[in-house]
Structure formats: C-alpha cells, structure tokens
Chain A
Amino acid sequence: MMELLGLYNYWVFAVLLMIGFYAVIARPNMVKKLLGLSIFQAAVFLLYITMDKVEGGTAPIIQKGVEDAIYSNPLPQVLILTAIVVGISTTALGLALVVRIHEAYGTIEEDETQRADLDE
C-alpha cells in the first residue's frame, strides 16, 4: 500500500497524460484540442521533475562549509525547462493557426471545417 502511495506522482502523471490525450482525440473544438495537448505535455514535465527527486536531497547549490549534503539531480529540471519552452512555442503556434482558421472558415470546430472543405 505504502509503495503505491509512494508512487503518487507517477499516478498523477499517467492520469494527466490520459486526460490530455482524451481531450485531443475526443473534442472537435481546436482550442480544446490545444488545451488537451498542453495537459498532455505538462504530464511529461511532471514525470521528469519527479524522477530528479532524491530522498532528503536539497537544491543543488554548492555552499562553503557544507560538504556532505545530498543534492537533487538538477539535469531533468534543465531538460524540462527546454521542453516547457518547446511546449509554449507549440501552443502559441497552434493558437495562431486557430486564429487564421477562424478567419478563413468562420469556425474552429474540426468537423465543420472538414464539411466546409468537402462542400467546395
């Protein structure tokens, strides 16, 4: 039981991943799809941040006089900083596309844009 609870973050990771994925697949509204995509990516950020935790670890900053400190692993945090930037760029580009799609089609529902294309 304790073991399962100890993996709390990983459970949240899996649940968030699936919520995001579901929104991407099931919603025809493009803004909601992008929201889903953001949740989907955020789940992965959580996975990386969780794995760098070292029990009893502190922030990885070297201080004078402290020699036997245990540090958390800083690398995944750096990686995820990059991934967050990528995520923001993707969302921004996606939203810009949605604006253009709204200008061109007058709707942001995927089924309606598909119908508009078929009618042409």
Chain B
Amino acid sequence: MSLTAQLPALQVVVPLLTAPLVVLLRTPGLSWAAATAASLTAFAIAVALAGQVLAGEVIHYEMGGWPAPFGISLNIDALGSLVLLLVTGASTLALVGGRDSLATEIEAGRRHLFYAAWLIVLAGLSGIAVTGDAFNVFVFMEISSLATYVLIAAGPDRRALTATFKYLIMGTIGATFYLIGVGMVYMMTGTLNFADMEVRLAEVTELRPIVVAAGFITVGLALKAAMFPLHVWLPGAYTHAPHMVTAFVAACSTKVAIYVLLRFDFFVFQNNLSQHDLHFASFLLPLALLGILVGSAVAMVESNLKRLLAHSSVAQIGYILLGASLISEAGITAAAAHMFNHALAKGAMFLAVAAFALRLSGVRLNDIAGVGRQMPLTFAALAVAGASLVGIPGTAGFVSKWLLLQAAFAQGTLGLVAVVVVVLSSLAAVVYVWRIIEAAYFCEPSAEVQAAREAPLPILAVLLLAAAANIYFGLVPAFPLSLAEMSATELLGGLQ
C-alpha cells in the first residue's frame, strides 16, 4: 500500500506518537521544534486529504485491515476535511508563532510536558474528525478534553485552575451523556459504526430508546460545543488559559463538537426518527438565537479583551447552530462556511491578543489604550480580523453571514426573526469590535504603552498571515465554500 493510502491513519498517528518523543526531548527548544514539525506534518496531511475530498472522493480507511463494521473504519468527507484543516491549521499557526508567548507563561522545566499535551489535543481533535465509529469518537473526545484541561490549567494565575475545574466537571458530564446515548443506540442496533447504525436503525421497531439516545447525544455534545445556556465553562476557560492555548482551542475545539453533533443528527437519526428534523430545529433554533443575543450583549460591556472575545464566540457558535437548525442546503452550507470563517477571524484576534500580552502587562481595554500607534502591524491585523468578525464585505466573515441571511430569508416568517437577530447581533459586534479599536487607536497611551515595540517576528508573521487569509477568503471564497456545499449535500443526502 502506498503512503497516500495511509494518510487518514497518519493524521492521528503522527501527533500521537510525537507526543511521547517530545517528553523525552526535555529541552524547551527541541521539544518546541518537534511539536511544530509534527503539527506542520499534520497540516500537510489535512491539505492533501482536502485535495482528495475536493476531487470528489470520500476517503474510506479500514484500521488494521479489518472490514467495517467489525473493525474501526475511518471516513473523511467534506465536513470532516474542513474540520481537519481548522484543527491542524490553528495548531500550526499557534505553535509557529507561539514560542515567545509560551516562554513567558510556562516555566522552562515544564515546557516539554506542555508541548506533549498540546500534541495530544491535536491528535484527539483530529481523531474525532476522521473516525467513523461512535465509541471511537468518545475516546478521542476524552483524550483531547483531558489534554485541553492540562493546557488551560497551565495559565499564569490561579483563576486558570478554578476555570479548568469547572470545564472538567461540565466537559465530563457532556461526554458521559454522549456515552449514555451511544450505549442506547448500541443496545437497539448492535453496532457502533455510523454508516452501519443508519442502516440497522431502519429495522428497529421500538424507537423510544433511540429518541432518548438522540436527546442524550444532542445535549451532551451541545455542552461540549458551548451552546447557550451550556456555555458557562467557556468564558473562564478562554480568559485564563495561556494566550496561545486560547488561540488554538477557540479556533477549533467547539467546532469539532458541532461536527459530531451534525454527523449524528443528520446521518444517523434523520432518516430513522419521524419528524426528527422538526425536533432538532425546534430545540436548537431558539437556543441558537438566544445565544447570539446574549453572547453579543455581554461582549458589548466586557472590559477584559479575552473575555470579550470569548463571549463573542458564544454568539458565533449560535450563528453556526442557527445555520444548521434551518435544515436546508443553504443553511448548512452557511453553517459549515461560518465554522471555517469564524475560526480564521477568532484565531487571528486571539493571536493579536497574545502579541499585545507580550509587550504589555495586561489585556484589559485600559491596558491596550493607544497601542495601535506603537504596534501598527499587530493593530492592523486585529482590525482586519475584527472586520471579518463583524462581517464587513471583502472579509471572510461577510461571505458566511451573507449566506446565513439568505438561508434565513428563504424560511419565511420564522426566518425573518432569525434575520432580525443576526442583524442586531452584527450591530453589537460593530460596537464591541469598535470598543477595541477605539481603545487601541484613539486613546492616550500610557507610559508603558509608549515604550512598547512591535511584537517579535514569528508571532507577527503568523498574525499577518491569518489576517491576510481573512481577506483572501473574503475575496476568493471558492475553496471553503465548495467544501461547505459538499458538506451540506452529504449531510442532507439522506433527507427525503
């Protein structure tokens, strides 16, 4: 078998096996280099896989040569490939640019362990995106979650510890709910393979356990995805984590949970439960709308930059779920495209925050007053990413928001409510992004800010690259859009 055929397995195996190697290397410099190399390799694999998927291939791989449903099969479709790109891309950018930032936050003697945990998060999140087995998803979810707790608890002050504890409790409850749901489906079908599950569910006559399972799985994954009102772990965890961890985790981990949610609800349950789409939409739509409103409203009054962006993430997750709960081709395309675009915008913004933190003593709005003139390039990148977050034409955020509005308009009266909410929340986004820009550019700089220089080259380069991607994918959105459209077709393929 050629190496290309093994790419789906290597996607997980490369970071997973590099993790113990990084522990053995011990020195901070070498362990960083090994972790970055593994992450770059994973990104290259994800790009190669995306190329195959775009060529119209659904990649199917049997672990150890055991045929499904007996062995574990790996399946990579368009949505999975999109998620893989996000996970590996965010990890690579944060690692390449993050060396200086992490050096200030993690003590040298522990840094190799930190990088090992980082690689395990990467392996776990990639594993969720490639696997075609429901129990395997649980295992990878817990692998990545446990390692994420370690990364977040490495944050500089003690509040990181309590925030992590909260996340650990809620994350475990979410994962256990998912496990209960999978158990019930297994009880009725005798299989754990997604594709096999869908086929065998059609023969199940007593559907009540499946309905219960759908409830458990949806709620459990909603907890992991930080859907309103289950998002309370998110602001604390994002705020107190090391800056680079926030940039990595905020860009992709909640999206991976949404990916599993869509996969279960559309592939497995959609065709087998009567009116499942109605239940799904009537559960998610109101919560998505509330999440958009509440997240944006809180972000408008928040004064800590990281916490502000975290609340904005709650709202953005609402957009993605709103698109999905419209259950139309246009809606799901918008949701998938927004996953990609939001990761670009939010990842770039958190990178900019990390750059500020390297030069300033804090990241509250007061602390960054006037920094725009001292760190013009960082500030410019922040402004571009902010514009993308708001959805200004010419940036990536505009493309998916426009799709979302079109999809909502197509739904009639109920859609109009959604349109009003999205517009209101975009106005709120203008307010909170403007507050950052106002503080950074128009306020009088303090003595500390006046002494600040531009961020070090690696982080600046990564940041500018991320900002440029926000503009590039705003002007030439063909690549994420075609993956998003393919995802929508696949997810709705079974829908009659």
Contacts and interface: CB of A to CB of B under 8 A. Distances in A.
Interface in B172-188: 172-173, 175-176, 179-180, 183, 186-187
B142 A90 contact: yes
B182 to A, nearest CB: 9
A41 B176 contact: yes
Given A44-B180, A47-B183, A33 B169 contact: yes
Contacts, number: 70
A47 B182 CA distance: 11
Contacts of B183: 44, 47-48, 51, 76
B69 to A, nearest CB: 11
A66 interface: no
A113 interface: yes
A22 to B, nearest CB: 12
Contacts of B142: 86, 89-90
Interface in A75-113: 76, 79, 82-83, 86, 89-90, 93-94, 97-98, 100-101, 104-105, 110, 113
B171 to A, nearest CB: 9
Nearest to B153: A97
B150 interface: yes
A90 B146 contact: yes
A30 interface: yes
Interface stretch (B158-166, B349-357, B378-386, B481-489): B158-166
Contacts of A40: 173, 176
A113 B162 CA distance: 8
Interface residues of B, number: 26
Interface in B194-250: none
Contacts of A21: 173
B186 A100 contact: no
Nearest to A41: B176
Interface size class of A (residues with CB under 8 A): 20 to 34
B169 A117 contact: no
A117 B142 CA distance: 29
A80 to B, nearest CB: 9
B180 A93 contact: no
Contact of B149 (A30, A79, A93, A110): A93
B186 A97 contact: no
Contacts of B168: 90, 93-94, 97
Nearest to A117: B159
B432 interface: no
A104 B165 contact: no
Contacts of A83: 138, 179
A114 B159 CA distance: 9
B162 A41 contact: no
A117 B166 CA distance: 14
Contacts of B139: 82, 86
B176 A94 contact: no
B167 to A, nearest CB: 10
A107 B462 CA distance: 41
Interface of B: 135, 138-139, 142, 146, 149-150, 153, 158-159, 161-162, 164-165, 168-169, 172-173, 175-176, 179-180, 183, 186-187, 192
Given A30-B165, A33-B169, 12 more contacts: A37-B169, A40-B176, A47-B180, A76-B186, A82-B135, A89-B142, A93-B150, A94-B165, A97-B153, A101-B162, A104-B158, A110-B162
24 contacts: A37-B169, A40-B173, A40-B176, A41-B176, A51-B186, A76-B186, A82-B135, A82-B139, A86-B139, A86-B175, A90-B142, A93-B146, A93-B168, A97-B149, A97-B153, A100-B153, A101-B162, A101-B165, A104-B158, A110-B162, A113-B162, A114-B162, A117-B159, A117-B162
Those 5 A-B pairs whose CB atoms lie nearest each other, nearest first: A104-B158, A86-B142, A51-B187, A101-B161, A113-B162
